[in-house]
């Protein structure tokens, strides 16, 4: 399936945290003969699995972050192709550049049986010098003049001793890997299964970068057997988890914990269309100009003021004054106290929650204090009530920090991270009193029958098992157009109910439930009887207002409380011409007419 936009949203940070720039990724793929051996029971070869993963990352980058730089380099080849041809047995298939349709087609050509034949014909398999390959990748990075925020190199191989015990080549590779890591390049090993197992400690332990956190240690030791495992590992490494904001959690006077706010799940949407110039297909940029309504002269930003009517007077404010009014406090989280979990109700959840995690690099000791707070909140079954200001000039919100324990699977791989879920709480004005409609109450027999139906249709739900069919089809169509495909790939709509399977599980329960609920000879397709219309057709009452009442509103500065319909009717009533239909324009026109 096509990769969708990242679940970790990339938003601007509060303050300057790290150098901004483009992300870069180099795929360093082993092209030895061992990589082309097919697996058991028709499983794809390690080389074919790698090419499928590379293609998936290419398409994902095109959709999510097309300005990132990606490269594809093969080592252990017979032929050589690299800048200045300085290194033997290293083949640069794609240099560091933005991904595009042509590169996806190039990778597609290397997939499957025909792809293996093309790779053997184009590159072949020869001697291996990982040190030269890493040196070549270092040159690819040094040739880039753009500012890079992240530099990552992924090695795909099924050989734990690529040099066959040659100590000189091993030492050269370790030296060059150390040089790359000193320049800020993160080296990851995507090792694949081979007969006899893969021993990371024999050589690659000194080549790859240390795991970024403890949860990744298990991933680096276990080799990938299936394509899904390899895709999962690459996605976990390639996706950069950016914080929405980095704040200080103030627990008391002088006690601050550095934390980051992360969006663990974000609704995937189609990207906004880009406007193009008809003749050249160049992107068009929109510019907005503000003109005086009476003279038509162009207004500069310094000439535009903001005003608020208060006590019959129009109070004009400068931009700095407006910003000062909006500012309540500096960004941060401030602990108010603790509440039992039963005080947090389901209807208090009014917007998607975010996740809170410590930032040890910002303030030393934050992880230790954060962990202690998380442990005690979990033990006592309480949540922390805080006042949160996410960014400068943002209004304060009350939030509940709900503790979440760490969960791991059988392989000691982290499923759920430890931290706090940030629940945004409603204000008193946000809570409404509803008058629910009166509905017939189900009998106990009907309830018991529905319980049987529900128990038959229960299954374990996983959100990552269902793809959005609209977005999937949209990107498949775009992919077919970009790659000149005859038709887009077929897509299975996983959210459609499996009628046959449901009928097999329920059997006669559905008919039994209908007999209990609906009356005899009930036809759901029949239209309900039409409501009788009144003899006299109701017309909208004409909205009129006496002149004295209108003048009173104007003197009291309460014209803004009238509806647009009333203001429009008043303009017609007094023959006032307006330049627009917005509420403020109608108020200005009436004020000018009645005030003269």
Indicate the domain borders of the chain.
22-238, 245-267+327-430, 444-460+467-517, 547-595
The answer for residues whose C-beta is within 8 angstroms of residue 349's C-beta and 6 or more apart is 423
Q: Residue 171 CB: number of other CB atoms within 10 A?
A: 13
**Model pLDDT, residue 534:** 54
| Tens-digit pLDDT profile for residues 289-306 | 999 888 889 988 888 888
**What's the pLDDT at 93?**
94
Report the pLDDT value the prediction gives residue 7, as an integer from 0 to 100: 35
- pLDDT value at 499 more than 80: yes
Over 70: is that where the pLDDT of 158 sits?
yes
Looking at the predicted structure, is the pLDDT value of residue 150 above 80? yes
Count of beta carbons in the 10 Å neighbourhood of residue 204? 24
Whether 363 has a pLDDT exceeding 90, the answer reads no
Q: Which pLDDT score, from 0 to 100, does residue 6 have?
A: 37
- The CATH class for the domain spanning 245-267+327-430 reads mainly beta
Distance, CA of 53 to CA of 72 (rounded, Å): 12
Identify which has the larger pLDDT, 448 or 10. 448
> For a pLDDT cut of 70, what percent of the chain falls above it?
90
Lowest-confidence range among 103-107, 152-156, 515-519? 515-519
Banded model confidence at residue 412, pLDDT cuts 50, 70, 90: low
Residue 485 to residue 477: CA distance in whole angstroms: 9
Give percent of the chain with pLDDT exceeding 90: 39
Q: What average pLDDT score do residues 27-33 get?
A: 93
155's enclosing H/E stretch is strand 148-157
Higher pLDDT, 195 or 9: 195
Res 561: pLDDT: 80
Options 18, 226, 270, 451, the catalytic residue? 18
Model pLDDT, residue 17: 41
| Top-ranked range on mean pLDDT: pick from 65-69, 360-364, 401-405, 560-564 | 401-405
| Predicted TM-score of the model (pTM) | 0.67
Q: Which CATH number fits domain 444-460+467-517: 3.40.50.410, 3.40.50.10090, 1.10.260.40, 1.10.1600.10?
A: 1.10.1600.10
pLDDT value of residue 529: 67
- For 205-252, what is each residue's pLDDT tens digit? 888 887 665 444 444 566 777 777 787 777 777 666 778 889 999 998
Report d(CA 233, CA 197) in Å as an integer. Answer: 18
The yes-or-no answer on residue 18 being catalytic is yes
Question: In CATH, what is the architecture of 547-595?
Answer: Orthogonal Bundle (1.10)
Cβ proximity of 28 and 157 under 8 Å: no
Q: Residue 10 has what pLDDT?
A: 32
Q: Which fold has domain 22-238?
A: Rossmann fold (3.40.50)
């Amino acid at each position: 399936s096509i990769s969708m936009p990242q679940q970790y949203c990339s938003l601007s940070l509060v303050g300057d945290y790290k150098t901004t720039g483009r992300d870069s990724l180099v795929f360093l793929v082993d092209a030895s003969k061992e990589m082309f051996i097919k697996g058991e029971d028709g499983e794809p070869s390690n080389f074919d699995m790698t090419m499928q993963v590379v293609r998936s990352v290419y398409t994902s980058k095109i959709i999510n972050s097309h300005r990132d730089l990606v490269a594809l380099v093969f080592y252990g080849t017979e032929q050589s192709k690299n800048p200045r041809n300085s290194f033997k047995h290293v083949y640069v298939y794609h240099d560091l550049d933005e991904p595009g349709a042509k590169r996806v087609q190039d990778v597609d050509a290397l997939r499957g049986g025909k792809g293996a034949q093309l790779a053997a014909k184009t590159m072949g398999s020869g001697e291996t010098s990982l040190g030269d390959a890493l040196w070549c990748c270092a040159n690819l990075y040094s040739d880039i003049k753009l500012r890079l925020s992240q530099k990552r190199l992924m090695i795909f191989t099924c050989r734990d001793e690529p040099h066959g015990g040659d100590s000189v080549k091993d030492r050269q590779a370790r030296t060059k890997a150390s040089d790359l890591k000193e320049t800020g390049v993160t080296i990851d090993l995507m090792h694949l299964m081979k007969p006899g197992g893969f021993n990371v400690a024999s050589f690659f332990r000194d080549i790859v970068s240390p795991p970024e956190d403890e949860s990744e240690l298990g991933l680096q030791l276990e080799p990938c057997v299936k394509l899904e495992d390899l895709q999962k590992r690459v996605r976990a490494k390639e996706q950069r988890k950016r914080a929405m904001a980095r704040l200080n959690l103030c627990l008391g006077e002088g006690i601050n914990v550095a934390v980051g706010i992360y969006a663990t799940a974000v609704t995937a949407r189609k990207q906004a269309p880009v406007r193009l110039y008809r003749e050249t297909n160049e992107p068009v940029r929109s510019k907005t100009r503000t003109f005086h309504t009476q003279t038509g002269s162009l207004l500069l930003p310094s000439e535009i003021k903001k005003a608020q009517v208060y006590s019959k007077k129009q109070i004009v404010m400068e931009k700095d004054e407006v910003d000062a009014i909006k500012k309540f406090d500096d960004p941060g989280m401030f602990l108010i106290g603790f509440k039992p979990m039963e005080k947090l109700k389901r209807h208090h959840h009014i917007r998607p929650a975010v996740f809170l995690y410590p930032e040890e690099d910002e303030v030393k000791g934050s992880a230790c204090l954060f962990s202690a707070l998380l442990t005690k909140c979990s033990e006592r079954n309480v949540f922390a009530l805080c006042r949160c200001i996410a960014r400068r000039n943002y209004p304060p919100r009350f939030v509940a920090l709900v503790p979440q324990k760490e969960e791991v699977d059988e392989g000691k791989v982290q499923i759920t991270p430890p931290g706090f879920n940030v629940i945004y709480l409603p204000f008193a004005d946000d809570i409404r009193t509803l008058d629910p409609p009166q509905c017939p109450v189900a009998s106990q027999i009907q309830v018991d029958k529905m319980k049987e139906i529900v128990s038959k249709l229960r299954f374990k739900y996983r959100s990552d098992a269902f793809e959005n069919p609209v977005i999937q089809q949209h990107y498949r169509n775009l992919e077919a157009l970009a790659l000149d495909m005859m038709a887009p790939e077929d897509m299975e709509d996983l959210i459609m109910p499996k009628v046959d399977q449901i009928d097999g599980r329920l059997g006669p329960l559905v008919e039994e439930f209908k007999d209990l609920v609906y009356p005899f000879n009930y036809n759901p397709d029949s239209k309900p009887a039409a409501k009788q219309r009144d003899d006299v057709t109701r017309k909208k009452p004409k909205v009129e207002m006496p002149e004295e009442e209108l003048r009173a509103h104007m003197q009291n500065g309460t014209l803004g409380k009238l509806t647009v319909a009333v203001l429009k009717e008043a303009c017609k009533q007094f023959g006032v011409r307006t330049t627009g239909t917005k509420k403020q324009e109608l108020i200005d026109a009436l004020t000018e007419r009645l005030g003269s």
